[in-house]
Amino acid sequence: MQFLYFAIAAVVLYFFSDWLLRRVESVLGRQLEQRSLFFFAILLGSLLIGFALIRYLAGP
């Protein structure tokens, strides 16, 4: 069952990272030069937090 939680969280956090990056770029008024690097950093950070939360809430 945890696999399903991880898969759903990965999809949701992927779209969240894209939305957040677009939001940051709109606030700055320009597209970032290292766009893929910032996207990866946002995605990695949110996945690490999200997966740790799932493991904590779902238990062993």
pLDDT tens digits in sequence order for the chain, 60 residues long: 888 999 999 999 999 999 999 999 999 999 999 999 999 999 999 999 999 999 999 876
Question: In whole angstroms, how far apart are CA 22 and each of 8, 30, 32, 42?
Answer: 22, 10, 10, 12
State pTM to two decimals: 0.84
Q: Is the dihedral of CA 6, 12, 18, 22 positive or negative?
A: negative
Quote the CA–CA distance of 15 and 19 in Å, as a whole number. Answer: 6
Quote the CA–CA distance of 51 and 21 in Å, as a whole number. Answer: 20
Q: Phi/psi of residue 8, each to 5°?
A: -65, -45
